[in-house]
Amino acid sequence: MTGGIGFAAAYILARRQRRWDAEDAAVKARVALIQSVRIPLEIIRDEIRANWGLYYTRDVEDTMTRAMREAIYELRDEELIRNLERAVPPLRELAGGTDRKASGEKCMPHIEAMLKRLAELK
C-alpha cells in the first residue's frame, strides 16, 4: 500500500515538474523573440538619430526585415504587426540611402511605438 502511495506521489510531482519546465521554456522562447526584435530596432533607432549609414544598409535590410517580421508575427501582437507594416516602406527608403534623414523621421514614430510595446510585453 505504501509503495502505491509513494509511486502516486512521485508521479504527481514529476508531472508538476514537467509542467513547470514547459512553462519556463515558453517564457524563455518569448523573451528570445522579443530580444530578436528589440535589438535591431534599437540599432536602427540609434543610426537614425546619429544619421550614420553604417549598419542598416540595402545589403542587410531584407534579411533584418524578414527576421523581425517573423518574430513579430510569432509574438501575435496586432499593434506590433501594424507598426511594422507601417514602418517597412520608410525603412526601405532609409536602407536605400536616398534622403536618410527624411526616411528616418518617417519611420521613427513607428520604431518608438514598437519598442514601447515590446517593453510592455515583458
Q: What is the pLDDT of residue 60?
A: 81
* Cβ proximity of 107 and 87 under 8 Å: yes
Global confidence as pTM: 0.75
> How far is the CA of 55 from the CAs of 6, 60, 65, 73, 97, in angstroms?
60, 8, 13, 24, 12
Q: What is the pLDDT of residues 83-120, one digit of tens each?
A: 999 988 888 888 777 777 788 888 889 899 999 999 98
Residue 53's pLDDT is 63
For helices 2-50 and 78-96, the axis angle rounded to 10 degrees is: 40
For residue range 44-88, list pLDDT tens digits in order: 888 888 877 667 777 888 888 888 899 999 989 899 999 999 988
